[in-house]
Structure formats: structure tokens, C-alpha cells
Structure 1
């Protein structure tokens, strides 16, 4: 089998998984024989019998381990055959042609190791178009639920980001094999840390592509699972990783991130999407990031002079 795309999905709910599988053929024009869909099933044996696979899809349940997103994904990667990996939540509904758009973008840009998606809720509001960090090193989905998914700002050309949601992303297999998901996370955060690793350790780019899209009700799966709420140890772990990233990542990466933060802040002020405290937090974040980048640039220049 000449596999060109491996789809990795972790699921415990047949109704959600069935809906995802039904959306796949229209999202990807690759011959179905060239695509494998590997599932880590966390549900019951009884529920597994209700999984319905559309004709032609090569779907396999290859793991029945308890739910732990990072560990489940790492186990799936070891079995994946394709160089292009589509990581997708079972509660995502893929848009027509969306996977094709991501595959084309990755094939044309060798320096890109990961492509993030644009996701929306059932109400048409944006739920994800990339991840930014505030001045406390906490991640957030910028413009989440603040604008419609077809807002002109959202539909701009592909944007370089430092992190994207693991709900739907296209990854080069070599990147995920080398870095792996950090299994120290209990509930969430491993996808964001993986993105930071891609930018810092591999020196590769991450793009968010408007055409790589779908419907996703954020946390609809985790909210139905006990013990899957916010986890303080995960927050501490991710904040520490973000601070290391700020110290080690290239200045160009940080500058691109700052520009996106600036553009988002300007939009929020111009269209009144944030309250006064929210605007103040964005301003402090921009100021802190700008000062830190300036310090990094000056330090780099001085160190070069010192070596001369």
C-alpha cells in the first residue's frame, strides 16, 4: 500500500466519530486507497460496534488504551505509514476540500512542518485560528467567539503562528516522530507544547490556513468526560515551556508573533470586541513582548561585536 495520508483520531463516542468519517471523503480528493484512518478507541466494546465506516475508507481501530491524548497520539504515530499526518478530533466536521488545501500548502513549502486550521462553532462564530500567549505566558485562542468565521480578518492569507490547536492539524510525520507529544500533561497542553517544539527545536514554520477548516464545538468531547477539566499542573508545565521558548526561539519568530498580537489588538479596539480590562491586558502583553524582543535583538548584536 502506497499510503499518502495517515489520519489519527482518538475517540470514545461512535456518533461523533461517524459524523467525522462521513465528512472525510468530500474534504480529501486523494484516492481512498491511499489514505489510512487509525483510531485509538477509548470507549466500550458495546459502543465500538456502532462505528459506521463509509464505503471505501480504510479505517482501523489499532489501540484500545485508556484515554490520555498525548500517549494515544504517540501510539498511533508509531503505526502510521504516511509522511503526512492528519491529527483530528472526533468532534470535528471537515469542510469540503479542506484537507486538500492543507496538503497542497505543505507540499509547496518545505520549511513548514505543521499547518493549523480555522475552526468554527455551529453558530458560525470563530473558535480557532491560531494560539497566542498573554503577558502571564498563558495560551489563548485569539478572537474566539468574538467574530464570525468569515470575518475579513480571519480570511486573510495564511498566517505564521507559534501554536495551533490539536483539534485539527496537518503534521509532517518526521516532526512528530522526532519530538513526540509530551505525556507529562494530564488533560491538555501537549499540542501547544509540541507546536513550540516545532518552532524552536526544529526551526520549522507553522502556518494557519483559512481554507483548512471545519466545525468544532470547543471542548465538546472533554466536557463529557470526568476529570477532563482545567488542570493546574498542566498550566504550570505549559507556562514554563512558554518561558523557555521566549528565551530560546529565534527573534524572527517572536517578531512575527508580536505582529499578529498587534493586529488582533487593533481589530479588537477598532470593533469593540474587548472590555477595558481586556484591552489593557492586550496592551501590557504587547509592551512586554516588544521590550523582550528588543532586549533579545540588542543582546544578539552585542554578543556578535564581542566575538569580533
Structure 2
């Protein structure tokens, strides 16, 4: 049973085995017949769609209880909703007719909030499939979670400890505390505050994270080591830095995923060299002439950048590679 409050000719009512609407009309209570189906603009005194709610004993005996204004512990029934009796600006409302739970609070955040007095309205909405937290003082400031993602536009959460004396506020803060052991020879194990990955079934670029005005307070590159035990190496999309440990020449093929703006650094540490090549369908340039390969010798460093452009009217996928000049001129 769903209590709909005072009867209104403009409302739609329901009477079926899954739902029976009840209303108040001329100080009397009525309940929709189980065979009434969906209807509107039928006054409760019309017995084709309505039945009188009945005496209290009869209603309880048939598993129906209407208790407008009654209290159940720290809850009471108001307008067909179950409402908490909390004070100080705090309130919880269970609204079955709108398929939602509404929580109102005089505060807006916990220990790390920089604006705890905005007040908040938190809604669990079954119709939209969302959990929403909205500021009372500025209703355009909101955070919500749904199966399609998480959104927040209110940057009022402190990101660092107050003991630092620094204020750094953000809409989403990720701080990772944990215990992960590293491997001996590689850097695959890790711990992160925020981790991102993307996979696109379309043909647009995919990024694990996208930031405008990125501030990197310490930059670390995913590194591939090439030593004497390696044969020909085909780089993947996750490599940003290649270091040559070998004492002989090693062939290295650039990635072929075709993402414009991808940058890869090459540094030959030991006495060998790296011979860099593009894969089929892509070209390699160190000036305006395509090359079959580019060699990075001992002690040298090179940067390769991927782009797509038109050369003499022909669309060309190209890696642009050049070596950094030595700090001491030879």
C-alpha cells in the first residue's frame, strides 16, 4: 500500500496486486480496489475504483495499516513518508512513492572538508540510479555516483595534512596507504593513490587519465630495459623510456597504436647501441627525409614523437626522432 496524501483529480492512482494507493478525502480514508488498474479523476466515493479504508481493526486484520502522524520509535509518518525526528537541521526521509531516500544535514564533510558549514542534501534515487550529495548553500555544487561514473565539482576537500601549513584543496582526493613489496629486477609492482586505465571500442584515442594544466610534482616514466639477453624488441603503448644496457647492437621497433603526441625517450647507457625502426605502415624521420632506422650510440639520448600529417598530399603516419646534443660540445 502507498499512501498518497489528500486526493487530487490531477494525480494518477494505482490499484493492482502489486500496489494499492490510499488517499484522504473529506476527512475519510479510501484505498484503491485491487481491480482498479491505473486511473485518475475518479473521486474516492466512487466504488468502481475505491473502497473505504475501513475501521482500524479491520485494516490491521487484512495486513493494511494507515497511521498518518503516528510515531515509530524515532520516526513518524508524514504525507505518506517515513520521516526521522532528528533535530539540529538533520533529517532522514524514506519516500517510497518517489523511490528515494533523502538525508539532510547541517554539515558538509568530514575531517578533511574545508567547508563544513555549507550543509548537504544526500539523495539515494532509485529512479535515476544515483547517490547524490548536494550543497545546501550552493545547489550547483554537487557530487554523485552512478554505474556510469563519479562526478564532483566542489573543490573543498583538503589534500594534505594541516600540520604542513599548506592549503591544497580538490574535488577528488586520492591518497594511497598500503604495503607492497617491489620485485628485484623490474618496477612492475606499485602502490598508487589513483590508478587509471581506458579501453575504447571506437576509433578515438584512449587515455587512462586526462588533465588540463597538469602539475607533476615528481615525474616517473614507465621504463623498458634492453640488455645482452634481449633479441629484437617491440615496444608497447605502456613504454615511455628505453635504456640500453647491452654491449652489442639491439633492434628496437616503435609502437604502432598510432596515438598522436606519444613520446618515447631512448638512452644508451652501455657500450652497445640501439637501432630504432618504425613498424609497417609508419615512417621514421630525423629531418625531411624518411629513414630506415635511427641508431643511438653509447652515451647518447634520443626522443621519438609520433604524429600524422600530409606529405606531398599523402597522409603519413610518422615517428619524428632526434638526439639531444651533448652538454659538452665535441
Q: Same fold (TM over 0.5)?
A: no
Structure having the higher strand fraction is: 2
The interval holding the TM-score normalised by the smaller chain is under 0.3
Q: Which has the higher helix share?
A: 1
Larger radius of gyration: 2
